Structure 1
Amino acid sequence: MSVSATVHEHDLSELSSQQLLRLERSIAEQFMGGLPWGSIVWAFTNLAVWLSLWPLTLSGALPLWAAAPIATLNVILSYLPSHEAQHRIIAREGERLFWLNEVVGHLSPVPLGLPYQAARLTHYEHHKHANDLELDPDINTRSDSAWHMVVKDIGMQLRTVPKTNIAYANALERLGTEDARRAGATLLAYALVTNALLFGFAWAGYALEVAAIVWLPRIVGGLYIRFFLSWAPHHPALAVGRYRDTRGFRSRLGNILTMGMQYHVIHHLYPRMPLMRHPAAFRALRPILVARGCRLDGI
């Protein structure tokens, strides 16, 4: 019988903090390892669909009213496979498939316009300093309510330089390493290329087409990502600490449409656990999470 199958039989209140941690880790270990093929296929399929929109839309074969929602879905789906790569879940440096980890990391977020190295380094900072007003690069999503977050985010994205880009650039500058400097330069290059792309296609007479494939999807899709990957699992983003900076929550949209974030508390506890195993791991670990005082809102 597995450890996870017997955890409900324990009176956890009788265990010391160290005993509880050992039990927690022994259960989590059952969900670690292996190659997340689902995320790998997801990354390349999503990118291929987004790239196909360019010839189809520019040639007039695909109408703008169809291209825009498809591109928005591509943007929404573009981040999480790279997120797996950021945590070296596909393969660690020095392992045989590390090249695949890096290819997924770099290519998957292309529709979003987010460079991999900048995303990886700033995301590590988020894990180290979750909900810290000064050091968490994702703290800008902190808002009083869901609607407040939506309105605030749209306003930030319509600025000449989005506030999220500034927060990431500041985090990289604070790190001050050579990797961080290169990532900062790449972040700037991505922003310049995006603006050149928008202006270039507009100048050539394809303003509506590039708006449908790039501009509007990145605003709407980016909002969706920040809402469910940042605001929802951390709201109200006031507490810090291993068991308090993230919450489990129940959404009417379900786990798939919230991109697995109902169980994001598992990711902050075990960042190298594949995303698709989080629900099962959460069910196995739930009694321990309750004993640790985790916020589990309706889940």
Structure 2
Amino acid sequence: MNKATVSLDSLNDAELDVLERNIAGKYMHMVPWGVVVWGIGNLIAWLAVWPLVLMGIIPLWLGFILATLNVALSYLPSHEAQHNIIASKGQPLRWLNELVGHLSTIPLVLPYRVLRYTHYEHHSHTNDPQLDPDFNNHANSGWHFLWKSIMNRQPGSSRSKAYPETLKRTGNEHMILDAIIYQGVYLVIMFTLAWAGYAIEAALLWWLPKQIATTYIAYYLSWAPHHPGKEQGRYTDTRGFKSRLGNLLSMGMQYHIIHHLYPRIPLSLTPAAYRELKPILQRRACNL
């Protein structure tokens, strides 16, 4: 037993809470400028792929790879904005927080307001089969998740109903219109491109990258950090895990437990916060 463990064992619950919050506080209240550049720059890069391919400057296969990377990288900047990490209400940079939130998820065809308010419900009711809007991402294994991810995108699936039902339950039914507009514009663009003779380009620069990215994002942000998803409670509903792809390619989600405990800590600082908080989380019997 090391000195840190002995020291923690001497603290009562109230003292441990104070220590934990003081440590977490060191990693909050700073603007993650990297995320701002990431969110806006990634959208610009994805938009640039289209003329590069359509004008024959780069081959379609390369455009497909680049577009897939862009779409897969488009969610996390919005996720930071959803939690007001760039700036809270009333702060001078609030406009930038909202700009990043709205712009970054355009490639995913997901409206910011819908994501924000359903995500808050996920945090409030993690792993609750009735109230967690992301509960239908739970699966028995990675392969089972892959199958469910495909089935979740079929018409009439429980997943397709989860967000609208959550918005209705929380009094945000009017935000469903955001999703209808997004999907409508997306379909108009796709049909227009197909009619103009660019059906293959539309499929490989948007439709297929969107499908791949949706599965990839849901795997690392939803399934992996909450598996097996049977526990509810502040210190038990999320776990730490080791990805074979490492922290970078797993989108930083190895330390997602820190995000659920302290959502205002920027993604880039969760590894450092995890390392410093780990003895306390072990004391609390977290699944690390």
Q: Is the 8 A contact 1:7 1:287 kept in 2?
A: no
For 2:157 and 2:78, the matched residues in 1 are separated by 21
Counterpart position of 2:126? 130
For 1:61 and 1:202, the matched residues in 2 are separated by 20
Q: Does structure 1 residue 14 correspond to structure 2 residue 10?
A: yes
Pick from 54, 61, 67 the counterpart of residue 65 of structure 1.
61
1:61 positional shift = 2.6
For 2:92 and 2:107, the matched residues in 1 are separated by 27
TM-score, normalization by structure 2: 0.96
Pick from 138, 143, 153 the counterpart of residue 142 of structure 1.
138
- Over the aligned positions, Cα root-mean-square deviation in angstroms equals 1.6
Q: Which runs of 5+ in 2 are unaligned?
A: none
For 2:43 and 2:6, the matched residues in 1 are separated by 47
For 1:113 and 1:162, the matched residues in 2 are separated by 18
Pick from 92, 109, 112 the counterpart of residue 108 of structure 2.
112
Counterpart position of 2:99? 103
| TM-aligned CA distance change 1:164 to 1:60, over 3 Å | farther
Q: Does structure 1 residue 175 correspond to structure 2 residue 170?
A: yes
- More off after superposition, 119-128 vs 204-213: 204-213
| TM-aligned CA distance change 1:187 to 1:165, over 3 Å | farther
Q: Is the 8 A contact 1:233 1:246 kept in 2?
A: yes
1:12 positional shift = 2.2
Pick from 12, 22, 29 the counterpart of residue 26 of structure 1.
22
State the Cα deviation string for residues 6-60 of structure 1 (Å, max 9, x = none).
Answer: 9826432332221111110011111111110111111111111100012122223
Q: Is the 8 A contact 2:152 2:160 kept in 1?
A: no
Q: Is the 8 A contact 2:126 2:232 kept in 1?
A: yes
Pick from 267, 277, 281 the counterpart of residue 289 of structure 1.
281
Q: Which amino acid aligns with 1:124?
A: Y
| TM-aligned CA distance change 1:7 to 1:119, over 3 Å | farther
For 1:163 and 1:107, the matched residues in 2 are separated by 27
Q: Which amino acid aligns with 1:154?
A: I
State the Cα deviation string for residues 44-96 of structure 1 (Å, max 9, x = none).
Answer: 11111100012122223332211111111111100001111000000011110
| TM-aligned CA distance change 1:113 to 1:290, over 3 Å | same
For 2:3 and 2:87, the matched residues in 1 are separated by 30
Counterpart position of 1:270? 262
What is the percentage of aligned positions where both structures have the same residue? Answer: 52
1:162 positional shift = 6.6
Q: Is the 8 A contact 2:84 2:97 kept in 1?
A: yes
TM-score, normalization by structure 1: 0.92
- Residue 108 of structure 2 aligns to a residue in which SS? coil
1:197 positional shift = 2.0
Q: Which amino acid aligns with 1:206?
A: Y
Counterpart position of 1:53? 49
Pick from 39, 62, 83 the counterpart of residue 43 of structure 1.
39
Q: Does structure 1 residue 241 correspond to structure 2 residue 236?
A: no
1:161 positional shift = 6.4
Q: Which runs of 5+ in 1 are unaligned?
A: 1-5
State the Cα deviation string for residues 182-241 of structure 1 (Å, max 9, x = none).
Answer: 321101211222222222211221110110111000100110000001000000111000
State the Cα deviation string for residues 85-131 of structure 1 (Å, max 9, x = none).
Answer: 00000001111000000000000111111100000000000000000
Pick from 70, 73, 98 the counterpart of residue 74 of structure 1.
70
For 1:211 and 1:146, the matched residues in 2 are separated by 26
Q: Is the 8 A contact 2:5 2:279 kept in 1?
A: no
